[in-house]
Chains A and B, each alone.
Chain A
Amino acid sequence: MHEASLAEELIEIINATARREHFKHVKKVELEIGELSCVDPESLRFAIEALIYDSVLDLATINISQIPGRLQCLHCKKEFEGNSVHTACPYCQQFGTRIVGGDDMQLTELEIYEE
């Protein structure tokens, strides 16, 4: 359940932002999770919800959008989308890929209540 440590990291970033931007409550959190990031969106939501009581996130809705994994075939070098590194290339049907995108997890935006 490494989503728990990522949820802690998320709350730490938001708390630091709250101190910098002077807000006490967040209305909405926008997260983007790459399909190849080894992060499960529902586990992450569960972990965040377990941690937000009595924090700046106590009123927040958490929006999670998944970013498709982007793979490059090691044989024909063409790029395609896939949610697993074990995906056969749709062009040459061979296995063996390199991740070129969709392996990160980002906090993209916060909507905050102004004081």
Chain B
Amino acid sequence: MCTICGCDSLTKHQYVNKRSDASKNSLHPNNTWQPAIDIITTQKPPRYLASNDNAKDTPVLNFGDNAAGVTVAGCESTRLVNLQKSLFAKNNTFAQQAREHLKTQHCLGLNLLSSPGTGKTTLLAETLSLLVKTLPCSVIEGDQQTTLDADRLAATGAQTLQINTGKGCHLDAHMMIQAFDRIPAPKSGVVFIENVGNLVCPAGFDLGEHHKIVALSVTEGEDKPLKYPDAFYHSSLLLITKTDLLPYVDFDISKCRQYAQEINPAIKIIEVSAKTGQGMGDWLNWLYEQISEMTSENQ
């Protein structure tokens, strides 16, 4: 509080533009635009303790350098701590560790996102049954509860680990590190990370994977890319699943493709049916392309 007039304002009532200060910060090199909502400006708070800015160097105890030029015992005394800390920084550090682990293992990391019920697990089970004999595969399976999916995928012969997030709505990179401690990514193989069924939260968290893959079934709406753009923006591949059901539903596949490409022109789109096997070849070809791309990048 200002000790002159009692307002919630600044030392000597001089307003400082917070953004212009922040733009000088090296952590904000590109932040030259203004915030949408202008926020409360910074203030140098009054003190009731002597200012100790130079306490160790000068033989002076200064009680008069606050706004009112005088100190009153009992008055509130505050100060500012400048931090500029990203709340994603910790996740990104763990994600980097996970990325390095994948690199040393020469293992492709794929992070699968979708809503609940898109058929990720069925597609994975089908994929694993085609791959396990020729390629080392493992699965990290994220769900709020139960080991149903991991049990189902373990039956294919792939090494699986279930992560139960409890109330959590997504996997984070710290969970990945702990999962890799338990089952390391298979050497020169693929680790499939099946994220918690949710198109919102998982999109915001880097797990150190090579690619995010978003799956969308034809029993959902073709407008899902518009409703949940972030998941589609961050993904390299869109799998349109359950295409065997197309004759029975009003799903406009060309509209779905158009929406996804408006959000991410580079996104690759493959239509698959784990039930009939349609499109499985294209999906596996895409997967092998990513492996060879990763191998040439690592060399």
Seen from chain A, the residues whose Cβ lies within 8 Å of a Cβ on chain B are 1-2, 4-6, 9-10, 13, 17, 21, 27-28, 30, 32, 35-39, 63, 65-68, 70, 74, 81, 84-86, 95-96, 99-101, 104-114
A16's nearest neighbour on chain B, judged by CB, is B85
Of A1, A30, A38, A99, most buried by chain B (CB within 10 Å of CB) is: A38
Selected from B27, B45, B200, the residue in CB contact (under 8 A) with A111 is B45
Interface string of B208-241 (1 = CB under 8 A from A): 0000000000000000011001100100000000
**Cβ of A21: which chain B residues have Cβ within 8 Å of it?**
81
Could you tell me which residues of chain B, from 19 to 77, have a CB within 8 Å of some CB in chain A?
22, 27, 30-31, 33, 35-40, 42-43, 45, 47, 49, 76-77
**Cβ of B76: which chain A residues have Cβ within 8 Å of it?**
113
* B263 close to A95 (CB less than 8 A): yes
Interface segment among B114-122, B167-175, B186-194, B272-280: the answer is B167-175
**Cβ of A9: which chain B residues have Cβ within 8 Å of it?**
87, 90
Distance between Cα atoms of A4 and B170 in the complex (Å): 11
* B78 close to A107 (CB less than 8 A): no
A105's nearest neighbour on chain B, judged by CB, is B87
Selected from A36, A100, A111, A112, the residue in CB contact (under 8 A) with B30 is A100
* B81 close to A112 (CB less than 8 A): yes
* B263 close to A85 (CB less than 8 A): yes
* A95 close to B172 (CB less than 8 A): no
Distance between Cα atoms of A44 and B44 in the complex (Å): 28
* A65 close to B263 (CB less than 8 A): no
Given A10-B87, A86-B263, the answer on whether A68 and B201 have CB atoms closer than 8 Å is: no
**Cβ of A101: which chain B residues have Cβ within 8 Å of it?**
30-31, 33
Q: In the complex, what's the smallest C-beta–C-beta distance from A46 to chain B, in angstroms?
A: 14
**Cβ of A68: which chain B residues have Cβ within 8 Å of it?**
33, 35-36
Distance between Cα atoms of A38 and B200 in the complex (Å): 8
Seen from chain B, the residues whose Cβ lies within 8 Å of a Cβ on chain A are 22, 27, 30-31, 33, 35-40, 42-43, 45, 47, 49, 76-88, 90, 167-170, 172, 200-201, 203-205, 225-226, 229-230, 233, 261-265
Selected from A67, A100, A106, A111, the residue in CB contact (under 8 A) with B85 is A106
A95's nearest neighbour on chain B, judged by CB, is B262
Given A17-B83, A109-B42, A113-B76, the answer on whether A66 and B229 have CB atoms closer than 8 Å is: no
* A38 close to B80 (CB less than 8 A): no
* B226 close to A107 (CB less than 8 A): no
**Cβ of A6: which chain B residues have Cβ within 8 Å of it?**
87
Q: In the complex, what's the smallest C-beta–C-beta distance from A67 to chain B, in angstroms?
A: 6
Distance between Cα atoms of A67 and B32 in the complex (Å): 11
Known: A85-B233, A86-B229, A113-B76. 14 other contacts (CB 8 A): A2-B204, A38-B203, A38-B204, A63-B39, A67-B31, A67-B33, A68-B36, A85-B263, A86-B226, A86-B262, A101-B33, A106-B85, A111-B45, A113-B77
**Cβ of B83: which chain A residues have Cβ within 8 Å of it?**
13, 17, 106-110
Distance between Cα atoms of A81 and B229 in the complex (Å): 16
A9's nearest neighbour on chain B, judged by CB, is B87
A sample of 17 inter-chain contacts (CB < 8 A) reads: A1-B201, A2-B169, A2-B170, A4-B167, A9-B90, A28-B40, A30-B39, A39-B204, A68-B35, A85-B263, A85-B264, A86-B263, A101-B33, A106-B87, A109-B83, A112-B79, A114-B47
**Cβ of B172: which chain A residues have Cβ within 8 Å of it?**
5
* A109 close to B81 (CB less than 8 A): yes
Distance between Cα atoms of A63 and B205 in the complex (Å): 24
**Cβ of B264: which chain A residues have Cβ within 8 Å of it?**
85, 96
* B81 close to A110 (CB less than 8 A): yes
**Cβ of B225: which chain A residues have Cβ within 8 Å of it?**
86
Distance between Cα atoms of A100 and B32 in the complex (Å): 12
Given A86-B263, A96-B265, A114-B77, the answer on whether A109 and B201 have CB atoms closer than 8 Å is: no
**Cβ of A28: which chain B residues have Cβ within 8 Å of it?**
40
